[in-house]
Structure 1
Amino acid sequence: MSLKLYCDLISQPSRTLYILLKTAKYNFEPKYVKLAKAEHYSEEFTTQVNRMQRVPVIDHNGFLLTESVAIVKYLAREKIIPESLYPVDSKQQARVDEFLEWHHIGLRLHCTTYFRVKYMDPLFGKKMEEDQLAGYERRMVQALDVFDKKWLGQGTEFVVGNKVTVADLFAATELEQPRMAGYDPKEHYPAIATWAKKVQAHFNPHYDEAHVILNKIVKKQQSANL
């Protein structure tokens, strides 16, 4: 069997799948697609890999699949990832799915948008008024408040219970993204900081491996602001 993962580790869901496959000790081939160089818009990628021009994508013995949540569910059915991370039990699995459904609009939309307007857009010469930028930050903070109080504030150790699942990994990689734009959720939310440390420890060394590029960008940004 062969599995290829088309990804860019600057992408949150790409990092999630990379870490997940590494944790599962599954033999896969990373196929890096450089988003900064618009390789996902190339004719080859569009026609042969993903017509939607996005990563991540998997190629599992010729079966191409896009969308990170769909990929996780497929990998679980194929027994590629541990049941502990995506439970077989119907109710436990439903709780994980409940978070993954909320995550797209509830968390990812706001963290990703803030990262894009604060960090990415200026790289391409796009400028935004301070009051507009403040609005994006406010919406992201509101999303973080919900995550902090209504997901982590339910008396459990992790997002959907007392065991790590893919829900935690999706959330953790997402909350790394605004760090590149100068906002680290862990510095503002003690509960998030405690939870994130546990998630990182669970998935290490692969978690740190997947975030090498991101951490270099963060360090470079911090040095530039000194």
Structure 2
Amino acid sequence: MSDPIIYADIISQPARAVLSYCEILGLKYTLREIRLFRGEHLTEDYKKISATQTIPSMVHGNLTLYESHAIMSYLSDLSPIGKNWYPEDRVQRALVDCYLHWHHFHIRLGCGIYLFNQFVAPVLYGKSSDEITKMTSDAREDAFIMIEGILGQGLYVARTQNPTIADISCYAEVVSLSQINFDFTKYPNIKTWMNKIGEIDGVKKIHQRFFKLTFKPKL
């Protein structure tokens, strides 16, 4: 079978998570860049690949996926080290899946959607929303309090003993806030965890590309 084709924009948090995981797994893949600020994800051609017109998406053989967590779960089976990041043990995998479901309306909402509303929406749609700003800020506060507590127990974000795809996904979201000088003072465990995850080779490689477009965070 041919290599997976990943449609992504490096400014997208879920896209960076998928690309980071490809690098961690040592997979050969083809990157097709879809520029969000140019509205390339809204074209009819891209809609044929991603029914939701979101990024990232993946085409591998006859399979097309357009949710980052589904893509990462699938990629885990393409490499022998995937089981280290998406555990085969049913209890450990259940913990990871639990986090991945929770992630969307908590970490993703409080980080990625907050930033999208603040910076991308004005470019694409002409304005941001005060209501969304408040909703996402509240979600972030609640989520960070929870994650801070989990990390304080010496665990990773999915309550596992070792890092998993949950940490890769979470990191891509949380580190984006450093680009707007978010104050992590209240969350020392999150700061320590970010530094640790950020040094993982695949994560570091992809995020260095992102930081070149913005700036390297000082945590």
Is the 1:119–1:181 Cα contact (8 Å) retained in structure 2?
no
1:51 corresponds in structure 2 to: 51
Structure 1 pair 80–3 and aligned structure 2 pair: CA distance change class (3 A): farther
- 2: CA distance, partners of 1:97 / 1:135: 25
Structure 2: unaligned runs, 5 residues or longer:
none
Partner residue, 2:193: 195
TM-score, length basis structure 2? 0.85
* Residues 114/181 of structure 1: CA separation in 2 closer, same or farther (3 Å cut): farther
- Percentage of matched positions with identical amino acids: 28
Matches within 5 A, 1:94-105: 94-105=94-105
Question: Which of these two proteins has the greater Rg computed from alpha carbons?
Answer: 1
**Alignment-derived partner of residue 37 in structure 1:** 38
Deviation at 1:81, TM superposition (A): 5.3
Cα displacement (A) at 1:123: 4.3
Over residues 142-188 of structure 1, what are the superposed CA-to-partner deviations in whole Å (9 max), with x where a residue is unaligned?
32112212x323x2242222211111111111102223333254x44
C-alpha RMSD of the superposition: 2.6
How many residue pairs align between the two structures? 215
CA change 1:188–1:122 in 2 (3 A) is farther
What does residue range 38-187 of structure 1 map to in structure 2 within 5 Å? 38-47=39-48, 49-79=49-79, 82-123=82-123, 125-126=126-127, 133=133, 136-149=136-149, 151-153=150-152, 155-159=153-157, 160-183=159-182, 185=184, 187=185
Q: What is the aligned counterpart of 1:219 among 198, 215, 219?
A: 215
Could you report, residue by residue, the CA deviation over 1:87-130 in whole angstroms, capped at 9, with x for unpaired residues? 0011111111111111111211121232123333444542566x
Distance 2:205 2:123 in 1: 25
Separation (CA, whole Å) in 1 of partners of 2:171 and 2:61: 30
TM-score relative to the length of structure 1: 0.83
